Protein backbone atom coordinates (compact mmCIF):
# COMPACT_ATOMS: atom_id res chain seq x y z
CA UNK A 1 0.00 0.00 0.00
CA UNK A 2 1.41 3.34 -1.04
CA UNK A 3 1.68 5.98 1.66
CA UNK A 4 0.67 9.61 1.42
CA UNK A 5 4.19 10.93 0.82
CA UNK A 6 4.62 8.64 -2.16
CA UNK A 7 1.22 9.52 -3.60
CA UNK A 8 1.96 13.24 -3.23
CA UNK A 9 5.31 12.83 -4.96
CA UNK A 10 3.77 10.86 -7.82
CA UNK A 11 0.91 13.33 -8.25
CA UNK A 12 3.34 16.24 -8.19
CA UNK A 13 5.64 14.73 -10.81
CA UNK A 14 2.79 13.64 -13.06
CA UNK A 15 1.24 17.12 -13.03
CA UNK A 16 4.53 19.03 -12.79
CA UNK A 17 2.98 20.89 -9.87
CA UNK A 18 3.82 21.59 -6.24
CA UNK A 19 0.78 23.85 -5.87
CA UNK A 20 -1.83 23.12 -3.20
CA UNK A 21 -5.04 25.14 -3.22
CA UNK A 22 -6.32 26.34 0.17
CA UNK A 23 -10.04 26.16 -0.61
CA UNK A 24 -11.08 28.65 2.08
CA UNK A 25 -14.33 29.95 0.65
CA UNK A 26 -16.95 31.84 2.61
CA UNK A 27 -20.48 33.04 1.87
CA UNK A 28 -23.43 31.51 0.07
CA UNK A 29 -23.65 28.37 -2.11
CA UNK A 30 -20.45 27.04 -0.59
CA UNK A 31 -20.67 23.49 -1.87
CA UNK A 32 -21.64 24.49 -5.40
CA UNK A 33 -18.91 27.12 -5.61
CA UNK A 34 -16.29 24.83 -4.10
CA UNK A 35 -16.96 22.03 -6.56
CA UNK A 36 -17.02 24.42 -9.50
CA UNK A 37 -13.84 26.24 -8.56
CA UNK A 38 -11.98 23.01 -7.80
CA UNK A 39 -12.77 21.67 -11.25
CA UNK A 40 -11.78 24.98 -12.85
CA UNK A 41 -8.28 25.04 -11.35
CA UNK A 42 -7.61 21.32 -10.78
CA UNK A 43 -5.23 20.88 -13.73
CA UNK A 44 -2.73 23.16 -12.00
CA UNK A 45 -2.86 21.42 -8.60
CA UNK A 46 -1.26 18.46 -6.91
CA UNK A 47 -3.58 18.74 -3.87
CA UNK A 48 -6.36 20.71 -2.25
CA UNK A 49 -6.47 21.72 1.42
CA UNK A 50 -9.72 22.28 3.30
CA UNK A 51 -10.29 23.63 6.79
CA UNK A 52 -13.13 24.75 9.04
CA UNK A 53 -14.24 27.40 6.52
CA UNK A 54 -16.04 24.54 4.78
CA UNK A 55 -16.24 21.80 7.39
CA UNK A 56 -18.41 23.73 9.83
CA UNK A 57 -21.10 25.01 7.42
CA UNK A 58 -21.13 21.94 5.15
CA UNK A 59 -20.49 19.17 7.68
CA UNK A 60 -18.71 15.94 6.84
CA UNK A 61 -21.40 14.95 4.37
CA UNK A 62 -20.88 18.08 2.29
CA UNK A 63 -17.10 18.11 2.58
CA UNK A 64 -17.01 14.46 1.52
CA UNK A 65 -18.44 15.50 -1.85
CA UNK A 66 -15.49 17.85 -2.36
CA UNK A 67 -13.05 15.10 -1.37
CA UNK A 68 -14.66 12.69 -3.81
CA UNK A 69 -14.54 15.33 -6.54
CA UNK A 70 -10.84 15.87 -5.89
CA UNK A 71 -10.20 12.13 -6.13
CA UNK A 72 -11.97 11.97 -9.51
CA UNK A 73 -9.82 14.89 -10.65
CA UNK A 74 -6.69 13.02 -9.61
CA UNK A 75 -5.46 15.25 -6.78
CA UNK A 76 -4.71 14.61 -3.11
CA UNK A 77 -6.79 16.01 -0.23
CA UNK A 78 -5.60 17.49 3.09
CA UNK A 79 -7.78 18.43 6.05
CA UNK A 80 -6.21 21.33 7.91
CA UNK A 81 -7.72 20.56 11.32
CA UNK A 82 -4.57 21.10 13.42
CA UNK A 83 -5.50 18.35 15.89
CA UNK A 84 -4.50 19.41 19.39
CA UNK A 85 -6.57 17.59 21.99
CA UNK A 86 -6.16 14.48 24.13
CA UNK A 87 -5.54 11.22 22.30
CA UNK A 88 -9.07 9.79 22.45
CA UNK A 89 -10.56 12.97 21.02
CA UNK A 90 -7.86 13.27 18.37
CA UNK A 91 -8.45 9.67 17.36
CA UNK A 92 -12.22 10.14 17.02
CA UNK A 93 -11.71 13.20 14.83
CA UNK A 94 -9.06 11.49 12.69
CA UNK A 95 -11.25 8.42 12.20
CA UNK A 96 -14.13 10.58 10.94
CA UNK A 97 -11.92 12.60 8.59
CA UNK A 98 -10.19 9.57 7.12
CA UNK A 99 -13.58 7.86 6.71
CA UNK A 100 -14.70 10.92 4.75
CA UNK A 101 -11.80 10.19 2.39
CA UNK A 102 -9.08 12.69 3.29
CA UNK A 103 -5.58 11.62 2.32
CA UNK A 104 -3.90 13.55 5.15
CA UNK A 105 -4.56 15.86 8.06
CA UNK A 106 -2.59 18.41 10.07
CA UNK A 107 -1.69 18.24 13.75
CA UNK A 108 -0.38 20.63 16.39
CA UNK A 109 2.65 19.20 18.23
CA UNK A 110 1.87 21.19 21.38
CA UNK A 111 -0.16 18.29 22.81
CA UNK A 112 2.80 15.92 22.65
CA UNK A 113 3.00 12.24 21.79
CA UNK A 114 1.81 9.92 24.56
CA UNK A 115 -1.99 10.04 24.84
CA UNK A 116 -1.82 13.01 22.48
CA UNK A 117 -0.86 12.48 18.86
CA UNK A 118 0.39 8.89 19.04
CA UNK A 119 -2.99 7.29 18.17
CA UNK A 120 -3.41 9.60 15.17
CA UNK A 121 -0.03 8.68 13.72
CA UNK A 122 -0.68 4.98 14.28
CA UNK A 123 -4.10 5.17 12.62
CA UNK A 124 -2.76 7.12 9.65
CA UNK A 125 0.07 4.66 9.12
CA UNK A 126 -2.29 1.68 9.24
CA UNK A 127 -4.51 3.26 6.57
CA UNK A 128 -1.75 4.61 4.32
CA UNK A 129 -2.81 8.18 5.12
CA UNK A 130 -0.63 11.16 6.00
CA UNK A 131 0.05 13.43 8.97
CA UNK A 132 1.54 16.90 8.51
CA UNK A 133 2.93 18.55 11.62
CA UNK A 134 2.96 22.27 12.36
CA UNK A 135 6.43 23.68 12.92
CA UNK A 136 6.02 27.42 12.26
CA UNK A 137 2.78 29.07 11.12
CA UNK A 138 2.54 31.94 8.63
CA UNK A 139 0.71 34.69 10.57
CA UNK A 140 2.57 37.43 12.53
CA UNK A 141 1.51 36.14 15.95
CA UNK A 142 3.22 32.81 15.30
CA UNK A 143 6.48 34.32 16.54
CA UNK A 144 5.05 34.63 20.06
CA UNK A 145 4.64 30.90 20.47
CA UNK A 146 6.69 29.04 17.85
CA UNK A 147 9.81 31.16 18.30
CA UNK A 148 9.68 33.10 21.58
CA UNK A 149 8.29 30.21 23.67
CA UNK A 150 10.96 27.75 24.73
CA UNK A 151 10.68 23.99 25.20
CA UNK A 152 13.57 21.97 26.59
CA UNK A 153 15.69 25.12 26.42
CA UNK A 154 15.13 25.65 22.68
CA UNK A 155 12.70 27.72 20.59
CA UNK A 156 9.52 25.69 20.15
CA UNK A 157 9.83 25.41 16.36
CA UNK A 158 13.22 23.71 16.63
CA UNK A 159 11.84 21.16 19.07
CA UNK A 160 8.74 20.61 16.91
CA UNK A 161 10.89 19.90 13.86
CA UNK A 162 12.81 17.29 15.82
CA UNK A 163 9.63 15.69 17.14
CA UNK A 164 8.11 15.51 13.67
CA UNK A 165 11.20 13.69 12.40
CA UNK A 166 11.12 11.29 15.34
CA UNK A 167 7.41 10.68 14.93
CA UNK A 168 7.93 10.01 11.20
CA UNK A 169 5.52 12.71 10.08
CA UNK A 170 4.79 12.92 6.36
CA UNK A 171 5.66 16.59 6.18
CA UNK A 172 6.27 19.83 8.05
CA UNK A 173 4.24 23.03 7.83
CA UNK A 174 6.43 26.14 7.80
CA UNK A 175 5.05 29.52 6.73
CA UNK A 176 6.35 31.06 3.51
CA UNK A 177 6.46 34.34 5.43
CA UNK A 178 9.50 32.94 7.29
CA UNK A 179 11.89 31.85 4.52
CA UNK A 180 14.87 31.92 6.88
CA UNK A 181 13.02 29.44 9.11
CA UNK A 182 12.28 27.22 6.11
CA UNK A 183 16.01 27.01 5.44
CA UNK A 184 16.88 26.36 9.10
CA UNK A 185 14.21 23.69 9.52
CA UNK A 186 15.19 22.04 6.25
CA UNK A 187 18.70 21.63 7.66
CA UNK A 188 17.45 20.56 11.10
CA UNK A 189 15.67 17.55 9.57
CA UNK A 190 18.49 17.03 7.06
CA UNK A 191 16.07 17.45 4.18
CA UNK A 192 14.36 14.16 5.04
CA UNK A 193 10.84 15.58 5.44
CA UNK A 194 9.00 17.64 2.80
CA UNK A 195 8.10 21.19 3.79
CA UNK A 196 4.63 22.58 3.05
CA UNK A 197 4.55 26.40 2.99
CA UNK A 198 1.34 28.43 3.33
CA UNK A 199 1.23 32.22 3.25
CA UNK A 200 2.32 33.01 -0.32
CA UNK A 201 0.62 36.10 -1.71
CA UNK A 202 -1.91 37.81 0.55
CA UNK A 203 0.04 37.13 3.74
CA UNK A 204 3.22 38.47 2.17
CA UNK A 205 5.14 35.25 1.59
CA UNK A 206 7.44 35.17 -1.44
CA UNK A 207 7.08 32.18 -3.75
CA UNK A 208 10.70 32.47 -4.86
CA UNK A 209 12.13 32.82 -1.34
CA UNK A 210 10.11 29.90 0.02
CA UNK A 211 11.25 27.50 -2.69
CA UNK A 212 14.85 28.71 -2.75
CA UNK A 213 15.07 28.06 0.99
CA UNK A 214 13.70 24.53 0.85
CA UNK A 215 9.90 24.44 0.50
CA UNK A 216 8.68 21.35 -1.37
CA UNK A 217 5.01 22.31 -1.68
CA UNK A 218 3.35 25.73 -1.82
CA UNK A 219 -0.11 26.38 -0.35
CA UNK A 220 -2.01 29.29 -1.93
CA UNK A 221 -5.56 30.45 -1.18
CA UNK A 222 -6.75 34.02 -1.59
CA UNK A 223 -4.29 34.88 -4.37
CA UNK A 224 -6.22 32.37 -6.48
CA UNK A 225 -9.69 32.46 -4.94
CA UNK A 226 -10.09 36.25 -5.03
CA UNK A 227 -9.03 36.83 -8.63
CA UNK A 228 -11.29 37.26 -11.62
CA UNK A 229 -9.49 34.42 -13.42
CA UNK A 230 -8.66 31.74 -10.82
CA UNK A 231 -7.61 29.14 -13.41
CA UNK A 232 -5.12 31.55 -14.93
CA UNK A 233 -3.78 32.55 -11.51
CA UNK A 234 -3.40 28.92 -10.46
CA UNK A 235 -1.58 28.03 -13.66
CA UNK A 236 0.81 30.94 -13.20
CA UNK A 237 1.61 29.74 -9.68
CA UNK A 238 2.02 26.16 -10.90
CA UNK A 239 4.34 27.06 -13.75
CA UNK A 240 6.56 29.42 -11.74
CA UNK A 241 6.81 27.25 -8.63
CA UNK A 242 7.71 24.20 -10.74
CA UNK A 243 10.38 26.21 -12.56
CA UNK A 244 11.86 27.42 -9.28
CA UNK A 245 11.87 23.92 -7.82
CA UNK A 246 13.67 22.52 -10.86
CA UNK A 247 16.14 25.40 -10.73
CA UNK A 248 16.90 24.64 -7.07
CA UNK A 249 17.39 20.95 -7.78
CA UNK A 250 19.63 21.46 -10.80
Residues serving a catalytic function are 82
Rg of the chain, C-alpha, whole Å: 17
With b for 16 or more beta-carbon neighbours within 10 A and e for fewer, the 46-65 pattern comes to: bbbbbbebbbeebeeebbbe
Q: Can you say whether the dihedral through the CA atoms of 12, 217, 123, 70 is positive or negative?
A: negative
Count the neighbouring beta carbons within 10 Å of the beta carbon of residue 84: 16
Phi, psi of 112, rounded to the nearest 5 degrees: 80, -175
DSSP at 82: E
How long is the chain?
250
Q: In which element (H, E) is residue 32 found?
A: helix 30-41
**What is the maximum span of the chain, computed from C-alpha positions, in angstroms?**
49
Upper half-sphere CA count for residue 42 (Cβ side, 13 Å) = 18
* CA gap 179, 210 in Å, rounded: 5
Amino acid sequence: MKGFRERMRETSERRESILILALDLKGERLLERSLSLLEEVSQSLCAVKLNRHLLLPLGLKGVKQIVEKARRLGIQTIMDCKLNDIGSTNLAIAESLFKAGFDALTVSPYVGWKEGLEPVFKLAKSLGRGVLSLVYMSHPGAKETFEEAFIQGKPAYQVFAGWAARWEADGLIVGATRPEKIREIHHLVEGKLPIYSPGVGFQGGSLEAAIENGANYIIVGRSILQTERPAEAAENFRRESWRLLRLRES
